[in-house]
């Protein structure tokens, strides 16, 4: 290490601290209840520290000899002096080409022969992703300590006192290290490279926490293995909607380890899908965090684009790569509120949805982190998937699967409370997020409103079909264009029945006639609206969803509720509501579906098309085979819709993500009413 600490040029930012919470032993017993308790106060800071009760001292399995001395982990090289001040990679490529031209002509032929490979290699380089050496924890501790001691070395005479022969080590404070870190980032004078063992899969390397097993011994390890604060359990706690995700997604539901050294950094980012995250430090020197509250996320993004325009011009998705810092002092000057948290061994740091955070390590340490999604996250998660669709960015999980899983669990809880009198803590927790103003109800209502508008904007003559229950059971289905998750609905065509589009990209799917395409719906709009009514507390709607979708009662008992359902639907006006006047896309009119379901592996029966008004002719309802036989339907004002008129429509629902351009429907000159007779059948999955 040739570079040295320069305390006279320290660039320590002047910012406020994030809040610190000290739960009691009783409060600490219910993890998500405590997160909910502090949310109102802490969320406005973006991050906070949580100090466990003194009695909570979990063992760290990573310090066992077999792991400490023998288990190897990979690292990445971080160029700290280039985290903020660096040229775009294309400029570096041009610089390399100029250097090659200035070289002597000797060997020019050989260089020209290799020029294609050199160009490809240079253009494919990406900053911040260079692999470093492999270490054991013991080796990395030795390397990290030597680096820090050498970098912050002071004259030996300064630490010698009269009568003291031995050299006493001097340790810089975290404030000293913070000032030096931002000097390197903001005003680099030397090249500083460090190693960081980041994103290490605990499924491979091992977790610091003990894992629950079927063999409980009754000792303290069992208590920590079952604790909600054990990050192996945290994501799937009761009340976290991630518990409805069937796969163990590494880094989201399975914790990652982070082994740091002095100056190793985690750059500005938000969590995937704008999830919460919880980070626990197992041991070591402090970790300094910076957080920005979610309502100022756009301000941070704008400030970074303003101060690093060349980097963002070359790579618009730069913030997704976690390789770029921007000084807290600059962000504060731009009006972005920013807060600091200094995490010590044995402490947690909680980050909130869409809260940008970054930071660095003050020396050798080891931390573990994972995500969680309480019900209040659902609204943030919906914003995230709509934003990902706009950015053509792949998702990590199915938001609709989590949303519907939460709704089913809530309805089961309501059923048990209403009809079985089981007011368990879990059932009461789900009841708390239901009701007309409940967080879960609002999230489902918003999603149903978006889905209804998208269905209404589908082109005429496009058949609607029931999606098979196992449509995305083996693997997630995504839109060919924007990668939107297709758990709730999808579009395909005769020409390629195994490829799919979301409802926003139906028109762009292929060049076939629209009649050759079809739409798969997991639930009809009527069923989804009934789901909202059930979450609002509609007793009959709860009965039907509990019977037909969750299967809490035998079929014959469910049939008894069907007449009540129709009456309830009429009483509370569950028929589709008219779209808001602010959306200029007209409602999709009905067409008779005429494609045989036997031709496609992911569809079942033909569905009635949504949006029809009942007029003049009375309807008769029969309960045989769970079918509704509807009489003559008189349909009015069929409109030809251009699909691109609806591409941006539903972003208006999300206030943080307004539609980027206006939507104009094309009015049809033909307003002649059409009469069509068909059988309406609702099948529940």
**Both tokens assigned to 609:** 């098309």
What is the strand order of the sheet 47-50 is part of? 20-21, 47-50, 348-351, 276-284, 365-372, 256-260, 193-201, 76-79, 130-131
**Both tokens assigned to 559:** 């049939």
pLDDT value, residue 638: 32
Cα–Cα distance, 159 to 408 (Å, whole number):
66
pLDDT single digits (tens) 298-319: 999 999 999 999 898 888 888 8
pLDDT single digits (tens) 132-159: 999 999 999 999 999 999 999 865 445 5
pLDDT bucket at 657, cuts 50 / 70 / 90? very low
pLDDT value, residue 97: 37
Q: From the CB of residue 154, how many other CB atoms can be counted at a distance below 10 Å?
A: 13
pLDDT single digits (tens) 323-381: 899 999 999 999 999 999 999 999 999 999 999 999 999 999 999 999 999 999 999 99
430 CB burial (10 A radius; 0-12, 13-18, 19+): buried
What does the radius of gyration of the chain's CA atoms come to, in whole angstroms? 30
**Mean pLDDT rounded to a whole number for the chain:** 78
Place of tokens 């008769």: 620
Q: What count of Cα atoms within 13 Å lies in the side-chain half-sphere of residue 299? A: 17
**Both tokens assigned to 47:** 């991050």
Cα–Cα distance, 136 to 532 (Å, whole number):
53
pLDDT single digits (tens) 193-222: 999 999 999 988 899 999 887 455 566 678
pLDDT bucket at 666, cuts 50 / 70 / 90? very low
Cβ 311 vs Cβ 88: under 8 Å:
yes
pLDDT bucket at 606, cuts 50 / 70 / 90? low
Alpha-carbon 230 to chain mean position: 21
The number of residues making up the chain comes to 685
- Could you tell me the domains of the chain? 19-75+134-374 (2.60.120.650), 89-127 (no CATH), 380-676 (no CATH)
Residue 541 Ramachandran class (φ > 0 left, ψ -120 to 50 alpha, else beta): alpha
- Contact residues for 642 (Cβ-Cβ < 8 A; gap 6+): 459, 507, 665, 666
pTM check: above 0.75: yes
pLDDT value, residue 41: 97
Cα–Cα distance, 2 to 313 (Å, whole number):
34
Closest CA to 195 of 358, 78, 361, 362: 78
Pairing type for strands 356-361 and 265-269 reads antiparallel
Average pLDDT over residues 545-570: 58
**Both tokens assigned to 174:** 């975290």
pLDDT value, residue 306: 96
Q: What count of Cα atoms within 13 Å lies in the side-chain half-sphere of residue 531? A: 29
Cβ 483 vs Cβ 456: under 8 Å:
no
Average pLDDT over residues 436-441: 96
Q: Number of H helices and number of E strands within the chain?
A: 21, 22
Bridge partners, 130 (sequence order): 77
Cα–Cα distance, 329 to 339 (Å, whole number):
11
**Both tokens assigned to 233:** 């359990």
pLDDT bucket at 565, cuts 50 / 70 / 90? very low
Residue 31, pLDDT > 50, answer: yes
């Amino acid at each position: 290490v040739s570079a040295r600490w320069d305390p006279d040029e320290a660039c320590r930012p002047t910012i406020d601290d994030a809040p610190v919470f000290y739960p009691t032993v009783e409060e600490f017993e219910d993890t998500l209840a405590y997160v909910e308790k502090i949310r109102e106060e802490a969320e406005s800071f973006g991050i906070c520290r949580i100090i466990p009760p003194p009695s909570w001292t979990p063992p760290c399995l990573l310090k066992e000899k077999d792991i400490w001395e023998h288990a190897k982990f990979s690292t990445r090289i971080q160029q700290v002096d280039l985290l903020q001040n660096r040229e775009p990679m294309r400029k570096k490529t041009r610089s390399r080409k100029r250097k090659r031209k200035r070289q002597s002509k000797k060997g020019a032929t050989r260089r020209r022969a290799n020029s294609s490979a050199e160009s490809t290699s240079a253009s494919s380089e990406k900053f911040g992703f260079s692999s470093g050496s492999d270490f054991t924890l013991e080796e990395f501790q030795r390397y990290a300590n030597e680096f820090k001691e050498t970098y912050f070395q002071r004259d030996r005479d300064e630490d010698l006192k009269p009568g003291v022969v031995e050299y006493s080590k001097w340790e810089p404070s975290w404030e000293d290290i913070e000032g030096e870190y931002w000097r390197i980032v903001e005003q680099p004078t030397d090249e500083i490279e460090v190693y960081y063992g980041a994103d290490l899969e605990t499924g491979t390397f091992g977790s610091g926490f003990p894992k629950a097993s079927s063999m409980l011994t009754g000792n303290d390890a069992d208590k920590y293995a079952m604790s909600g604060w054990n990050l192996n359990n945290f994501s799937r706690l009761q009340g976290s909607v991630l518990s409805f995700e069937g796969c163990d997604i590494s880094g989201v539901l399975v914790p990652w380890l982070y082994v740091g050294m002095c100056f190793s950094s985690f750059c500005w980012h938000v969590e995937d899908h704008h999830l919460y995250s919880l980070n626990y430090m197992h041991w070591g020197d402090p970790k300094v965090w910076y957080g920005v509250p979610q309502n100022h996320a756009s301000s941070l993004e704008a400030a970074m684009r303003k101060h690093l325009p060349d980097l963002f011009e070359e790579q618009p998705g730069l913030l997704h790569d976690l390789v770029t810092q921007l000084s807290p002092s600059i962000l504060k000057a731009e009006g972005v509120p920013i807060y600091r948290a200094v995490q010590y061994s044995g402490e947690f740091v909680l980050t909130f949805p869409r809260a940008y955070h970054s930071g660095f390590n003050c020396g050798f340490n080891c931390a573990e982190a994972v995500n969680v999604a309480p019900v209040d996250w659902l609204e943030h998660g919906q914003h995230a998937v709509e934003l990902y669709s706009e950015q053509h960015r792949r998702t990590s999980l199915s938001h609709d699967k989590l949303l519907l899983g939460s709704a089913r669990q809530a309805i089961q809880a309501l059923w048990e409370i209403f009809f079985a009198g089981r007011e368990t803590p879990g059932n009461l927790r789900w009841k708390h997020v239901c009701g007309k103003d409940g967080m879960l109800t609002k999230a489902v209502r918003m999603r149903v409103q978006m889905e209804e508008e998208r269905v209404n904007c589908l082109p005429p003559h496009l058949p609607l079909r029931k999606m098979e229950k196992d449509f995305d059971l083996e693997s997630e289905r995504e839109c060919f264009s924007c990668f939107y998750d297709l758990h709730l609905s999808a579009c395909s065509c005769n020409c390629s029945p195994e490829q799919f589009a979301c409802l926003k990209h139906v028109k762009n799917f292929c060049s076939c006639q629209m009649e050759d395409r079809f739409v798969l719906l997991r639930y009809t709009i009527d069923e989804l609206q009934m789901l909202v009514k059930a979450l609002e507390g509609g007793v009959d709607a709860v009965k039907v969803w509990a019977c037909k979708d969750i299967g809490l009662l035998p079929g014959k008992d469910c049939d008894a509720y069907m007449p009540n359902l129709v009456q309830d639907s009429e009483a509370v006006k569950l028929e589709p509501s008219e779209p808001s006047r602010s959306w200029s896309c007209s409602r999709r009119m009905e067409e008779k579906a005429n494609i045989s379901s036997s031709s496609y592996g992911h569809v079942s029966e033909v569905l009635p098309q949504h949006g029809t008004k009942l007029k003049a002719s009375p309807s008769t309802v029969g309960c045989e085979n769970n079918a509704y036989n509807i009489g003559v339907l008189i349909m009015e004002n069929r409109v030809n819709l251009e699909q691109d008129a609806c591409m941006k429509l539903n972003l208006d629902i999300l206030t943080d993500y307004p539609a980027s351009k206006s939507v104009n429907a094309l009015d049809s000159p033909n307003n002649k009413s059409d009469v069509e007779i068909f059988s309406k059948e609702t099948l529940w999955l």
